[in-house]
Amino acid sequence: MKLGNSIKTFRKNRSLTQSQLAEMCEISTTYLSLIESEKKEPALPLVKVIAEKLNIPLPILIFSAITNEDIPENKKELFEILKPSVDSILNNLVNDNADSEA
């Protein structure tokens, strides 16, 4: 699971700097940097706050972080086929949602 990478991607899609998101989440920029670089794993309450501040439903943030390594061997081929399409659909939902609330 690459939760930090997903957070970074959504943050950049929202045109937020690390400093801005860190301030919104009441954490240090250094800590957010460690999360985004996969060096620290945030606790679930912080993940909820980050998702809320990014205006992304928590399940979408978590699903977007799932990688091939998280999938059982006998399901990897199906995952690799479906993941890009599902990611695209979810990103469109989230981006449309963010645009309509602005």
How much is the pLDDT for 92? 86
Q: Read off the pLDDT band of 96 (50, 70, 90).
A: low
Helices then strands, each counted (H, E), the chain? 6, 0
What is the structure's pLDDT at 100?
45
Amino acid at 30: T
Helix axes 3-13, 58-65, angle to 10 degrees: 120
- Interhelix angle 18-25/44-53, nearest 10 degrees: 120
Please write the tens of the pLDDT for every residue from 28-84. 999 999 999 999 999 999 999 999 999 999 999 999 999 999 999 999 999 999 999
Q: Is the model's pLDDT at 101 over the cut of 70? A: no
**pLDDT (0 to 100) of residue 102:** 41
Other C-beta atoms closer than 10 Å to the C-beta of 100 total 7
CB atoms within 10 A of CB 88: 10
The pLDDT score that the predictor gives to residue 90 is 86
Gyration radius from the chain CA atoms: 14
- Look at 73 and 90; give whichever has higher pLDDT: 73
Tokens of 17: 């700097």
